[in-house]
Each structure stands twice: as structure tokens, then as C-alpha cells.
Chains A and B, each alone.
Chain A
Amino acid sequence: MVNRKIRVLVAKPGLDGHDRGAKIIAYALRDAGMEVIYTGLRQTPEQIVEAAIQEDVDVLGLSILSGAHDYLFPRIHELLKAKEVNDILIIAGGIFPEEDIPKMKAIGISEIFRPGTPTDEIVNYIKSNKPVKS
């Protein structure tokens, strides 16, 4: 596959309705030439994992500001593991207390972007860290 566009699923897990950030990221990644699918609000971990597989994405971006990441992220990780998906780059953005960051990294979330991150920093991170799909 030559020059396949980077495919990204921007997902809103849980009941959180704050989607300003998710939509801005979706716009910015699209402007940077990526193909972006946005799930919309209130997605269960099952729906997100299903969509990531169906859409054959390179990157899964999780956006959450409600504090429910401590349940939802490990659950998403479990489901991906159960489906033996290991070639998707997972990143997250939102509001997280400092002490949760190492826990999130330990379950395979490569990078966590917190309030104030310029969008091009996220674009560059994806470009230099995207997995090579077989």
C-alpha cells in the first residue's frame, strides 16, 4: 500500500458530553492529511474497539474529560488485547490527574495530551509514531 493516508478513529468513551476537543483534533488531523472518523458521543468500550477494527485504523484517539478514564481505558485495553489487536497507536486527551499518567502508559496508551497542547504537536506525534501495518 503506497502512501496510504493515516487513518484515525477519534472516540468519545463513556457518558461525557465535552466534545470540543475531540472535534478540534478531528479537524486538525484532517487538515494534516489524515483520514479521520469521529464516533460521536457516548460510546462504550465495546463500540470503540469494534469501530477501530472495522475501520482498520492506524491510530485510536480517546478523548475524555469526565474522570471515567480510570474504568474505561483499562476496559478498552482489555478488549483490544482479547481481539489480539496490537498494531494500533493509542493516544488520549482530556483532563487527567498527574498520578494517573503512568497507569495509562502501562496499559499501552502511548501518549497523553493534556489541556494546552498545540494541535501540531499531536499531528507530529502521530506522524512519527504511527505503527507500520502489515
Chain B
Amino acid sequence: MFEKDELDELRSHKEKWTGKVEMGLEKRPERKKSFNTTSNIPVERLSTPLDIDDQSYQKEIGLPGEYPYTRGVQPTMYRARFWTMRQYAGFATAKETNQRYRYLLEQGQTGLSVAFDLPTQIGYDSDHPLAQGEVGKVGVAIDSIRDMEILFDQIPLDRVSTSMTINAPAAILLAMYIAMAEKQGIAPEKLNGTIQNDVLKEYSARGTYIFPPKPSMRIITNIFEYCSSTIPNWNTISISGYHIREAGSTAVQEVAFTLADGIAYVEAAIEAGLDVDVFAPRLSFFFNSHLDFLEEIAKYRAARRLWAKIMKERFHAKNPRSMMLRFHTQTAGCTLTAQQPENNIVRVAFQAMAAVLGGTQSLHTNSRDEAFALPSQESVQIALRTQQLIAYESGVADTVDPLGGSYYLEKLTSGIEEKAREYINKIDEMGGAPAAIEEGYIQKEIQDSAYRYQKEIDEGKRVVVGMNKFKIEEPPPTGLLRVDPKVREDQISLIETLKKERDSVELGSSMARLKKAAEGKDNLMPPLLEAVKAEATLGEICDLLRKIFGEYQPTTTI
């Protein structure tokens, strides 16, 4: 990238400079013997053109909107439109959550993101014994299409995009969403949104699995196929590193394990006979934004470049959209402290800024009180305002990839790409991500990193402001959100009413067709749509599928 003569001159100049600096270190030592990123990549004192002189600008960095997309997936990025401000929200009943959504939209939020409660995520109705204590706690309880209708009441689904954090039962919730929108008079092709639908990371990091890998992969490829023809603007999966990072991985591991999962989905879909350039443009990703500001920015850029290369070189994609890694970001919940919780507002702001400088397509900013409970409305407002401050006041959205070309950042981007690729090669040798998860390899790598990180905090090698340094005595926080345990009773009575009112003949025949499809090879989406329209509950559908597909038995490695 630079003239050879100039590089030679710089090299000898830098040697002299380094000598001089190191002589002064005795008097003025640096804070640490060595500096490292959270992924244990060494951080040099200074980066110069010498650090990136082996990079080809055209091949490795390029221009935004062009392969390999290092600088961003769109040519004009936020000069055209800001990222989608999308706060993950859901608690108690559909009615209460609907009110929160309408509040957030009034406050300038530009997309919705549904948090479901654990019974919904694991395919149990609210009246199931295992749902005791869990209904409406970490998200909204959805038992049937009736709840879905209440959840989106008076929300313009043709203008707002909806992301749903739903994995094992994603096909069922998507069917409910499509059927509910139809009732509102909105055709499937007008719908925009995302289902998370990433079951591999449920096995390795998040825990809301239901079925074993094989039928799970079949459901996922059924969704890819169905959506490409029927609901073309839908993101059929959000391949997620977020939870891998929350479970304790490093930035490099987050990229590697996420892309390895992505490779497994692409392979499964190709195996099922789908054309890569038909389904791959609708794959989307989801990353964490953690504390190490520059490493995070480099991480997004590295992930984009690496995925583009994988799609082009390994899967021979021809459609540029197949090569574009589009992603959502959430700030790191695991970095929030219960001590001096107001500090979390600032942490989140830095993390959000990193996501924007890394070119995210949408963003959730966490709330200050999440080390205690689900966020209160006031806390969510501050979190949303943080995004609006970055967008409207900071100026960083006015030029594309403003940190591109920084010697340090470009070097770190390449470093993360290289180390992630090493992991991916290793996972390939093990037979791909599903095999590596089956062996417990990915889980072990994540938990080892988590323990290392914790030990650094315990030993004071890693400072957490307000927690292991700069501590104060403080009163417990007030004004926390609390979900009424009565929510379960309310949901149960809704289920009872539904079971009395629905047409049992229609229900029976739709469930029979679903059973036949599940036992055979037909796409599950059309019979699922019929079943949810006949008001089958989520639990009933999942129970039927559990009988046919079986249940996943986790590998626990401690």
C-alpha cells in the first residue's frame, strides 16, 4: 500500500524511535509489561504503515458495498439511513408488552424486537408444570395466535420490522406472525423482520433447545425454503454470536463459532437441495458489543470480510447479497454491574458507539438496571436515547467506516480474521460445528475463557470500575420492574377459553396433516400455518413434534 523507499525509511526511523523510547522506560515505565486485547491478541505500543504493508487495500479493505465488505455492506451506510434502533422487549402478558412496544415506537424506536418467556422459547404452554414460576418472567408469554394478535394490536406491520428471539419453535412463531398479519390485512410479502432460528448456539451457549440437531436442521432448512418464495423480505435466521460471547467467549471465539454455525446452516441447506444464492441473501447475524472498544470494531469488520470470503470461495456464491454479512448488535449484558448501576449507562454508550463504528444494521442498547431485573421504562428510555445521541449528535454516522485505514485497526481486523479462521479450520477437521458441539469442544472453549476472565477480575488484573476498584457504599436501587406471578393464571384462563371456543374438527385435521408432514419429508411451514390458524397452541404443536423428533440430550462438560 506504500512506496517501498518510504517504508524502508520509516523502518529505520521507527527502530531509532523505539530505541529512544525504550531507554526512557526505566524512568517512565509503561503501565503493564504487555498489553493484550480480551482475545489475548498483543497490542503494540504504536502501529504504523509497517504493520499493514502486506495488505492489499483493494483486495482486503476495498470500498463499502463491495466485496469483501470490510468497510460496510452498503455504499453510503448511515448517510442514507441510520441503523434500526431496536430494543429487545417483552414481559408478562401480550397486552402489557404491546403497551411497551407502542411506547417505544412513540419514543422514536424504528423496529421491534420480541423477547419471549422461557416456556414459549422451549415450547411449553403456560399451563405446563415446567412453566411454573417462569410465565412472563424473561419475556412475553405466547401460547396461541390469540396472544400474537394482542401483542401486535395497532402496530403497523407493513411499516415496522419485527425481530423475534425464538429458536427451537421459530417456525411456529413465524407461522403465527404470518397468520396474524394476514388477519390484519397485510400480505406475507409485505412483512419485514427476523427470526433468530439459530439452534446450534442454543446447544453451545444459550440453552433453549428442544429437538436434536438433525430434525432441528431440517426445520431450519424448511424455513429457508418456504420464506424465499413466500415472505421474501424476511431474515430467515440470525446466526448469533451474542450469546456465545455472553457465555464467556473471547471476541475471536465469538466470530469463529458464529461463522462455523453459519457454515453448518449453509451446508445443510445446500444438502437439502436449495440454491445458495436463493437462501443466503436472507441469512443475518447477531453480535455482541463488549468492552474492548477497538477490538469490537475490528471484530465486526473481520467477521464481514471472513464471511464474504467463505461464501465466495467455499460455497461459490455468485449473488453479492449472499456474501454480505448483515448484523444486529446488542451491548454486552454481562458487562453490566450491580454496583453503581448508573455507570452502566456510560458502558453501554461506548459499546453502542463501537457497534456503529463497526457498521451494524440494527442495535439494542441495554439498560442500566439489568443486573437486577428486566429494565424499567425509564431505563429503557435512557438506553434508546443513547442510540439517538450517537445518531443525531455525535457525527460519527456522517462518513462511512470512519476508522478504516487506522494502522492499528486494520492490523487488528486482520489479526481477528486470521485467528478466527484457525478455529474454523479446527472445527472443520472435527466435522463441523454440530460435531464440535456434540463433543463439547465449543462449550469447553467458551467456559474456559469465561473462567479465565473471572479470575482476572478476582485477581484485580482486570479492573471493573465500581466493582473491584473505586468502590462505594450505596443503597439498593429502587423502581425495578417486577412481573406479577398472577400472569400465569391469566394465561391459563386464556388457554381454557381458547380450548372451549376453537373448532375441534378443523384443529384435529390440521394436526393430522402436520403429523404426516413431520413424519415424512414435506416442508413443515404450510401445515404449521394451518395448525396455528386452527388455534393449536404452541405447546400442543411442540408436543406433537417432540413425539416424532425426540428431545435433545445435552453434553455437559465440567
Enumerate chain A interface residues (CB-CB to B < 8 A): 14-20, 23-24, 26-28, 36, 38, 40-42, 44, 66-72, 75, 95-98, 114-116, 118-120
Contact = CB atoms under 8 A, between A and B. Distances in A.
Contacts of B554: 40-41
B323 to A, nearest CB: 32
A68 B371 CA distance: 15
A38 B558 contact: yes
Given A23-B450, A95-B373, A118-B468, A14 B476 contact: no
Given A40-B554, A97-B480, A97-B482, A27 B451 contact: yes
B248 interface: yes
A26 B558 CA distance: 8
B133 A16 contact: no
The 6 closest A-B pairs by CB, nearest first: A17-B207, A71-B133, A68-B133, A15-B118, A98-B476, A40-B556
Contacts of A70: 133, 485
Given A14-B134, A24-B454, A116-B339, 4 more contacts: A24-B447, A27-B558, A36-B558, A116-B338
A67 B487 CA distance: 13
Contact of B334 (A15, A20, A40, A118): A20
A98 B477 contact: yes
27 contacts: A15-B208, A16-B138, A16-B207, A17-B206, A17-B208, A20-B447, A27-B451, A28-B454, A38-B558, A41-B207, A42-B207, A66-B138, A67-B137, A67-B138, A67-B373, A69-B133, A72-B132, A95-B372, A96-B372, A98-B477, A115-B336, A116-B371, A116-B467, A116-B468, A118-B457, A118-B458, A120-B458
A20 B447 CA distance: 7
Interface string B194-237: 00000000100011100000000000000000000000000000
Interface in B136-171: 137-138
A72 B558 contact: no
Interface of B: 118-119, 121-122, 124, 130-134, 137-138, 202, 206-208, 246-248, 334, 336-339, 371-374, 447, 450-451, 454-455, 457-458, 464, 467-468, 476-477, 480, 482-483, 485, 554, 556, 558
Contacts of A115: 336-338, 371
Interface on chain A toward B: helix, strand, loop, or mixed SS?
loop
A15 B372 CA distance: 19
A49 B33 CA distance: 49
Contacts of B247: 19-20
A19 B207 contact: yes
Contacts, number: 112
Contacts of A19: 207, 247
Q: For B372, B373, B451, which residue has the most chain A Cβ atoms within 10 angstroms?
A: B451
Contacts of B467: 116
A98 B338 CA distance: 11
Nearest to A38: B558
A32 to B, nearest CB: 12
Nearest to B202: A17
Nearest to B121: A15
A116 B371 CA distance: 9
B165 to A, nearest CB: 12
Given A14-B134, A41-B207, A24 B451 contact: yes
B368 to A, nearest CB: 13
Contacts of B374: 67
Contacts of B464: 116
A10 B485 CA distance: 26
A55 B372 CA distance: 32
B539 to A, nearest CB: 13
A42 B248 CA distance: 20
A120 to B, nearest CB: 6
A14 B477 CA distance: 26
A72 B371 contact: no
B134 A23 contact: no
Contacts of A95: 371-373
Contacts of B371: 95, 114-116
A88 to B, nearest CB: 20
Contacts of A23: 447, 450-451, 558
A27 B447 contact: yes
A16 B336 CA distance: 19
Q: For B134, B202, B558, which residue has the most chain A Cβ atoms within 10 angstroms?
A: B558
A18 B207 contact: yes
A67 B137 CA distance: 6
Nearest to A10: B558
Q: For A68, A96, A98, which residue has the most chain B Cβ atoms within 10 angstroms?
A: A68
A21 to B, nearest CB: 9
A81 B207 CA distance: 30
A52 to B, nearest CB: 17
A85 B354 CA distance: 52
Contacts of B450: 20, 23-24
A19 B202 CA distance: 12
Contacts of A24: 248, 447, 450-451, 454
Contacts of B483: 67
Contacts of A16: 118, 138, 207
A98 B480 CA distance: 10
A119 B455 CA distance: 8
Nearest to B370: A95
Q: For B206, B480, B556, which residue has the most chain A Cβ atoms within 10 angstroms?
A: B556
Contact of B134 (A15, A18, A20, A40): A15
A95 to B, nearest CB: 7
A44 B447 contact: no
Given A97-B373, A98-B477, A14 B207 contact: no
Contact of A72 (B133, B248, B476, B477): B133
Nearest to A118: B458
Nearest to B460: A118
A6 to B, nearest CB: 16
B470 to A, nearest CB: 13
A44 B121 CA distance: 17
Nearest to B207: A17
B549 to A, nearest CB: 17
A105 to B, nearest CB: 15
